[in-house]
Amino acid sequence: MIKAMLNVDNNQDISKFYKIIEFLKHKGEGYRPKKSKIFTRQNIGNTLVGNIPDSKTRVSRTFTVITETYIDLYRKYLRLRPAHVNH
């Protein structure tokens, strides 16, 4: 499809085709690759999985905390939070 849009021959440098680069970036917005799950909760034990929602780059981020000290700190914070807060 890109070759048809560009109508270029082989060995053509496409880095200067700014409209094509912009088109490809626009098509790739919000793309999240599917990752395979390797471990189950029983394999890892105590973990904390956090999710940072979509940001300026339109890609959400996920992180894990496995250190027991930080997990205990999170649980203590969770107990102190008001119950009506939903986020």
pLDDT per residue as tens digits for the range 56-72: 778 888 888 888 888 88
Q: Identify which has the larger pLDDT, 44 or 50.
A: 50
**Residue 38 confidence (pLDDT) above 60:** yes
pLDDT per residue as tens digits for the range 9-21: 566 677 777 888 8
Per-residue model confidence (pLDDT) at position 52 = 85
- Give ∠ CA 55-59-63 in degrees, rounded to 5: 95
Q: Where are the domains of the chain?
A: 1-31, 34-87
Look at residues 74, 47, 45 and name the one whose alpha carbon lies nearest to residue 62. 47
Per-residue model confidence (pLDDT) at position 1 = 58
Q: What stretches of 11-84 show up as alpha helix (H) in DSSP? A: 18-27, 41-44, 68-80
Global confidence as pTM? 0.42
